[in-house]
Amino acid sequence: MNTSFLLFALLNPIFALLAAPLYMALIRKVKAYAQGRKGPRLFQVYYDLRKLLHKEVVYSSTSSWIMRFTPYLNLSALLIASLFVPLLFVPEPVGGFGHIIVFLYLLALERFFTALGGLDAGSAFGGMGSSRSMSLAAVIEPSMVVAFAALAFVLKSLNMHEMFALTASEVLPLSPTLVLVSISLFIILIVETGRLPVDNPATHLELTMINEAMILEQAGKNLALLELAHALKQLLLMGVLINTIFPIGLSTELDSGKIAVSAVLFLLKAGLLAVVIGLFESSLAKMRLFRLPAFYVMAFFFSALTILIEVFA
Amino acid sequence: MYLLEAFVYGAVLALLSGTFLPLLYRNKNARKASFGLSLISSILLLVFAGTILYTGKEPAFPAFGFLPGLNFTLATDRLSAGFILLIAAVVPGVSIYSVEYIEHAKSEARKDLQTALTNLFILAMLLVVLAGNMVGFLFFWEIMSLSSLLLVLHNYSSEENKKAGFFYFVMTSLSTAFLFLGFISLFRLTGSAEFGQLEYPANTLTLPFLCLFIGFGIKAGIVPFHKWLPYAHPAAPSSISALMSGVMLKVAIYGFLRFLLSVSTPELWWGVLILIGGSLSALLGVIYALKESDIKRLLAYSSIENIGIILIGIGLYVIFKVEGLEALALLSLVGACFHAFNHALFKSLLFLCAGSIVHATGTRNIEAFGGLVKSMPSTSALFMIGSVSIAALPPTNGFAGELLLYQAFLQSSALTEPLLTVLLIIALSSFALTGALAAALFVKLFGITCLAIPRSEQSKLAEEVKKPMLLGPAMPAALCILTGLFSKQLLSLAGWNFEFPDLLLLGLLFGIIYAALFLIMRSKNPARISETWGCGIPSLTPSMEYSSAGFSEPLVMIFKGIYRTRIVHKPEYLDMQESLFKNGRVEIRLLRFFEEYLYTPPAQAIDNFSKLVSKLQNGKLDSYVLYAFIAVIILILATGGLV
Amino acid sequence: MIDPFLLEGLIKILFVFVLISAALIISTRNLSSVLTTYTIQSFLLALVSFLLYLMDEKGQLLLLAGLTLASKVILIPYFISRIEEKIKIGRDLHFTYLEPTTSLLLSIGLILLSYVFLSRIFEDLSLSKLFFFGAVIGVSLTLMGMLVVFSRRKVITKVLGYLSMENGVLMFGLFVTEIPFIIEVLIIIDLVILVMLTTILAVGMDSSIEEYRQKFRKLQIWTGGRYL
């Protein structure tokens, strides 16, 4: 355990937690502008979270300890996952923090318990959300693993810290495969955070609900924790994408000046990515539920092609 | 060292006495004592196996004369020690559980018999793993099969169980037949019945490899030989299902590994075949499990999936060994064995909890469960630990095992042959798919069984089971979590220092963050309890919540090409233009692919052939004298050299 | 003058996009999307040809790029969009024999198949890995085009699949042999004539061959329900 990692363990999660809600609101604002509206304030999600923290928690009489523990579990899992993605600087990797498979399975842990929470209250909405979410997550899993495997092949390491230390000083991606992997990562980002065309995060209608249905029964501070966890997941996946395609500015040393520059650059890059996501969402309609596997297989085709190119050419 | 062998003798003695005790003294105390003896034996075996694994000592056993010319030897090396450790980890939980569970059998005689047979089963499996030559192996293999067969048939009055038992009997005899073939061909090649190094070029070993692969594959439940598993496991009592799924399937894997590890130069196509067989078993196992609504059948299919994963690891081992990547080969092999160990733990845990649930509600149908987290809290908690482990979520042991395999896959860029890399990537994608489908499966199983409102009267009236049936599963549950957290430490104690994430650190951090969040977020006001939102309808009934079939519906739709539900529509009309409907018949049939196309045709053919042959034995004295006459004529012709 | 590594990287990216466009032609349901995808595919091919010219400095490649641009990106799509305006069907919903998901997975198999096939045949030829992969993609594109022809119903999609096949041949030629320029020109003239004929026939013909036959059948229904 060295000081670099300890500092990282302190700074990175806090930075991620603080920055995450900003980008949720930014994407909403971009979508609103695309629709001709003004949209919410940039800090709206922070105010929403504060409001939720003060509200009363209501539990259903049919729910069990799962509903009570899931929000804390999810946020803990994602806080640990935030130790895997370097946002401010790249530390010396310690004890497996940064391993891509552990990262993916921490996200899977969060999904598992959210799905159980959806079934807990015994409502039809919750069951539907859980069922759809777990089914679709299963179909996207091969693409995710193959995309991360392509990253591992190109950057020759299984640890994200080592990978991004390699690319940290480049302006453009190291190899064309990384450009293709970035496209896969973008699709995975859209899928994992439940954005159009996979799911509409703005509505609570049965037709467009996958993610929202599972947390329908949560209230008060539990809901705040779950929303924060969701925003954190989005930020971490955005972080992986940014580090792959546009890594300039990520500092590899413990210099405070460089870290500050890194932070500002990351905020700007994430903002740009958020605008791109917002525009992408605004240009598409939600796909029919059973057309989604075809879309996911296309994503898998893309990831597989990326690896094939890497192996063959 | 003498001391080491003494442990084994002690364990064998304990199990033997455990077998005979309930048959001699037919009362409850004898049964309890017999399970206590199996518990003692497992502790002895734990010490024995642990010592060998972590110190590498090799004990020596004398040969036991059996028949003139045939004797069997016992031998242990690190491979068998690992699998003895597996047995020793599962048996305590099962024994303690059975103390109470066996009392639910129908008659006193059955209780005594089942207790005796359980001990015999454990003893046979132990001796198979300890066997040092082919004779002993086959002898104890047969005892293992027969004792488990008798246990599967415990409830022989039901038709379904009779069919299950018969199916199991046929498949296990087939397996033994192939094993005999394989061993005899090996014997002819080497001239000795001992298990030793096989320094032969791989093309001479093709026949033994195929026979042993099929023989062990039938017993382990590889697709397409897996069909007996979903019938036998639900029919057996739950503690026996736990032993069968947890240990017996792994003993088959042990046998296969014993052969593979002794071959010094395997061939590439062996590894490819094992890898493809494993991927197919894993994928098909979990896909068929998704459609099941019988809890034990679902767990049986899930076992098939996990055996597939173990085979993937073994296939990777062979491929890497052939390509010369020794470190990766070792990683894959350790991953496969570690996953076998973990699967034994969490599958036995799941089956024991399933047994408690089935006993408390009286049915195996998942659609009748629900709300058990309120009426059976401890069992539900243990069930949850099992579900989280089998879904391979950090920091449990299921995750640690799969992580080793993922690591082997992801480092395969060291392979030089591009087509092999492509095969591995396809295998990796299907491996990832099965992992995610298994998670979905266990969300369904745990969610529908334990959460929400009870879906039937029986579920409403369920009560928590007695202490032994809670203590039993608690042991594998604790081991699951501990093995996961301390995975890196345990592996390095055994001498394997891989570059492996330290799950202990992760787990500790998890606990700390969780506790911190909990303390920060604690509020003074208690939460309010209210009704679930039902769109304005005042109270929710069980028919409004999600059912098991409904939960799997999206996945069934996505994979409908594999399920091949056939809708047969036979309408009858009154007129030629087909406009006036008379009556009709609609059938929705699930295609039982393996049964209808793979198993039944040969079975039918054998049946027809035996009908033909049975005509020869018609009971008339005249025809028998005719046969003797024909035989004498043929003998005369043959010895006279006229033919 | 330009860094060859950069060129190779760009060509690799273009390869993947060409394959994606072929996969999209197999699976898209919207007819105008299929046309747009074909246009993009031809444009990417022209781009590949141009990049190869930058690498090898052969004048023919530049000419080929220009010709492909003119004929396959501008002329042929113009004709086909005229047809689509005329017959006004928006979608091609039905798939025969293969669902889009299965055909995508099959395409991966086809790419692997062409790789194995070509590596057997081209053992003695010394090609750089990139060029070899270009040839593999050419063959795969042809096979995927054939997939489109048999698995889709509407004639327009079948024609576009055939055109895609020709793109595959062009790709193969770019990387493996020196196809004499005249043959390329002849192929392109062939295609233009094909599309012009289709346009002419489209005035009198309905959207798919099946419906054409249905029309004939309908004329005979009064003979008591005997189908042809």
* Number of other CB atoms surrounding residue B339 within 10 Å: 25
Query: A touches which chains (3+ CB pairs under 8 A)?
Result: B, C
Q: What six digits make up the tokens of B57? A: 């000592």
Torsion-angle region of A205 (φ positive above 0: left; ψ -120 to 50: alpha; else: beta):
beta
Torsion-angle region of A196 (φ positive above 0: left; ψ -120 to 50: alpha; else: beta):
beta
Q: Do B576 and C112 touch (CB under 8 A)?
A: no
CB pairs under 8 A between A and B: 221
Q: Do B411 and A58 touch (CB under 8 A)?
A: no
Q: C110, C134, C126, C177: which is closest to C11 by C-alpha?
A: C134
Predicted model pTM:
0.89
Across residues C174-194, what is the average pLDDT?
76
pLDDT in tens, B173-216: 999 999 999 999 888 888 777 777 777 776 778 888 999 999 99
Three-state secondary structure along A245-293?
HCCCCCECCCCHHHHHHHHHHHHHHHHHHHHHHHHHHHCCCCCCHHHHH
CA distance C26 to C105: 11
Q: A227, A214, A210, A216: which is closest to A287 by C-alpha?
A: A210
Beta pairing class for B70-72 and B64-67 = antiparallel
What is the residue-averaged pLDDT of chain A? Answer: 87
Q: For B476-615, where are the E strands, in sequence order?
A: 528-530, 565-573, 581-590
Across residues B283-312, what is the average pLDDT?
93
pLDDT of residue B67: 67
| Closest CA in chain A for residue C116 | A312
Q: Do C225 and B422 touch (CB under 8 A)?
A: no
* A293 contacts on C by Cβ (under 8 Å): 101
Instruction: Identify which of B419, B576, B577 has the shortest CB distance to residue C116.
Output: B419
Across residues A28-53, what is the average pLDDT?
91
* B561 contacts on C by Cβ (under 8 Å): 99, 102
Q: What six digits make up the tokens of B360? A: 């408390």
pLDDT in tens, C8-17: 888 888 988 9
Shortest Cα distance, chain A CAs vs residue B113, angstroms: 41
Domain that holds residue A226: 3-312
* B411 contacts on A by Cβ (under 8 Å): 158
Q: Do B501 and A73 touch (CB under 8 A)?
A: no
Q: Do B439 and A108 touch (CB under 8 A)?
A: yes
Shortest Cα distance, chain B CAs vs residue A129, angstroms: 10
What secondary structure does DSSP assign to B45-57, as a single string?
HHHHHHHHHHH--
* Alpha helices by DSSP H, B263-376: 268-290, 295-322, 326-361, 372-375
- Given the structure tokens 């949850």, which residue do they identify? B384
At C41, the pLDDT band (50, 70, 90 cuts) reads: very high
- Given the structure tokens 């994407």, which residue do they identify? A27
Please count the residues of chain A: 313
Q: A108, A237, A104: which is closest to A182 by C-alpha?
A: A237
pLDDT of residue B65: 66
Q: Do C112 and B561 touch (CB under 8 A)?
A: no
Crossing angle (nearest 10°) for helices C100-121 and A292-312: 10
Q: How far from the centroid of its chain's Cα atoms is residue A183's Cα?
A: 15
Residues 6+ apart with CB under 8 A from B87: B42, B45, B122, B125, B126, B129, B247
Backbone angles phi, psi at B65, to 5 degrees: -70, 135
Shortest Cα distance, chain A CAs vs residue B495, angstroms: 18
Q: Do B577 and C112 touch (CB under 8 A)?
A: no
Whether the per-residue pLDDT at C223 is higher than 50: the answer is no
* A131 contacts on B by Cβ (under 8 Å): 444, 546, 550-554
What is the residue-averaged pLDDT of chain B? Answer: 87
CA distance B326 to B339: 20
What secondary structure does DSSP assign to B224-266, as a single string?
TS-TTHHHHHHHS-HHHHHHIIIIIHHHHHHHHHHHHHHBSS-
Q: Do A294 and C13 touch (CB under 8 A)?
A: no
DSSP state of B597: I
Interface of C with B (CB under 8 A): 99, 102, 112, 115-116, 225
Q: What six digits make up the tokens of B351? A: 């089956």
pLDDT of residue C215: 65
CA distance B302 to B445: 11
More reliable by pLDDT, A208 or B219:
B219
Among residues of chain C, what percentage have pLDDT more than 70?
Answer: 84
| Closest CA in chain C for residue A309 | C12
Instruction: Identify which of A58, A116, A139 has the shortest CB distance to residue B558.
Output: A139
CA distance C119 to C115: 6
CA distance B360 to B355: 9
pLDDT of residue C217: 67
Q: Do B410 and A119 touch (CB under 8 A)?
A: no
Across residues B290-304, what is the average pLDDT?
92
Answer for the pair B289, B252: CB distance below 8 angstroms, yes or no. Answer: no
Shortest Cα distance, chain C CAs vs residue A309, angstroms: 7
- Given the structure tokens 């024991």, which residue do they identify? B352
What secondary structure does DSSP assign to chain C, as a single string?
---HHHHHHHHHHHHHHHHHHHHHHHH--BHHHHHHHHHHHHHHHHHHHHHHHHHH--HHHHHHHHHHIIIIIIIHHHHHHHHHHHH---B---BSS--HHHHHHHHHHHHHHHHHHHHHHTSSS---HHHHHHHHHHHHHHHHHHHHHHHB-SHHHHHHHHHHHHHHHHHHHHHTS---HHHHHHHHHHHHHHHHHHHHHHHHS-S-HHHHHHHHHHTTGGGTS---
Q: Which of these ranges, A28-42, A281-295, B561-575, C175-189, has the smallest mean pLDDT?
A: C175-189
Q: Which of these ranges, B248-252, B430-434, B605-609, B622-626, has the smallest mean pLDDT?
A: B622-626
Instruction: Identify which of A102, A123, A308 has the shortest CB distance to residue B501.
Output: A102
Q: Do A301 and C27 touch (CB under 8 A)?
A: no
Domain count, chain A: 1
Across residues C79-86, what is the average pLDDT?
80
More reliable by pLDDT, B166 or A313:
B166
